[in-house]
Structures are given as structure tokens and as C-alpha cells.
With several copies, the nearest count.
Chain A
Amino acid sequence: MELYNGSLDVKEIFGRWLDEEAESNYGAYIPFVGTIRAEDGIEALSFDIYEPVLRSWFDAWQQRAKERGAVVKMAHSIGDVPVHTSSYVSAVFSPKRRVALELIEEFVEDFKANAPIWKYDVKNGERIYAEDRSTPMDGSGLLA
């Protein structure tokens, strides 16, 4: 798991992960690259991350992937990421395509739902919590 301040160097990450697994005999490599869209007049998105819980979440996913013979990788930005640059890359390597296609979907969807990351629109230099696009994590409401 890799965290970076600001935009990701997507080509470097993609290529390095490819090289890391070049001799691992995986038949399928599926990265997912998330890029900031220009919409609603935003200049950038900005991210807060709670790293200890993100790391536990990712470690659990590595274990789940391993049980299916696969590997997952992930990189995410902290702080401001301008439009048309990337804040998120995740990837699955697996011997076969079916497992890779299933895992990348499950991994990305669970990431959206349960990775402890908070998103803010940046408009006129101001940070506004993207409440309408945010999802309560599994188990929310325990203290209510």
C-alpha cells in the first residue's frame, strides 16, 4: 500500500507493479486508475486518510486475495489532487482472468464503501466535504 502527497505518478506505479510481478507467472493484471473529473467548477479534490485503519483494511484484502491465488496492490493520494490528474490506483494480479475480473470489482467497490478516506471538493481554495457522495462504513450508527 502506497500513500503519496498530491497526484499519483500513474505510469511509474503501473510500470513498477508490472516489473514487481514480471516473474510471478500471473496471467492477468488489471489496474484501476481513478482520475479527478472536472465537474461542478471544482479545481481539485482533496483527501484525508486515516492510515492505521486503511492499512488493516488493505492487509485483510491481501489475505483474501492470497486465498484465491491473487495479489492486490493500491496507491492513493493525500491532500489536494487537481482535476485531470489521478488520486487512486489499485490492481489485481492473478493466474487467470476470471478471478482477476471478479477481484478487481470487489476490491474497488469495497474500497469505495470501507476505506477510511474522506473526500473534499476544492473550490476557490476552500475545502468542502463531499457529503452527498460519501457512504457510511459498514457498522455505522453503533454509537447513535
Chain B
Amino acid sequence: MVKVEFLGPIGKAPVEMEAKTLADVAEKLKEDGTVKEWLPKCAVALNDTMVSDLNTPLKDGDRISVLPPVCGG
């Protein structure tokens, strides 16, 4: 099981799922209509490190963060 958390304004509680790669996570998240709309503009961190490869392998206990558009300052 991996845990997916939604940061900032997405305002959705974390979900747990079975996934071997980030591609699996993507597939499952797209089933949720609200989350699906956020995905094109969201970046992704795996255990607090930004990632850019859908083939990134996942292991039990991994934490995936979905980061919507930012505006600090």
C-alpha cells in the first residue's frame, strides 16, 4: 500500500492504494472526477522528493504528494 496526499487547495483527504509505479497511481487518481481536473497542473513528490518519471517504482509505505499550482511571496 502507498499513501497519496493532496496538498494546499485541493482539499481532499489522503487515500491509500496498491500501486507498483507512479503510472498505477495516475490511473487510479483519474477515476476521481475532482482529482482528475487538478492533475494536469499538479507536480508530484515521492517521500518529499520531487519526481518526474511515471515509471518510478513504489514500495510499501511510500508517500506520494500531489502539489497544485503555487504562489509564495
Contact = CB atoms under 8 A, between A and B. Distances in A.
Contact of B48 (A56, A137, A141): A56
A130 interface: yes
Interface of B: 7-9, 22, 25-26, 29-30, 39-45, 48-52, 54, 65-73
19 contacts: A53-B45, A53-B48, A56-B48, A87-B73, A88-B73, A111-B72, A116-B7, A129-B9, A131-B9, A134-B68, A137-B67, A139-B52, A140-B40, A140-B41, A142-B22, A142-B54, A143-B22, A143-B25, A143-B44
Interface residues of A, number: 38
B43 A142 contact: yes
B39 A141 contact: yes
Interface of A: 34, 47-50, 52-53, 56, 76, 87-88, 97, 108, 111-120, 129-131, 133-144
Nearest to A138: B43
B8 A118 contact: yes
B42 A135 contact: no
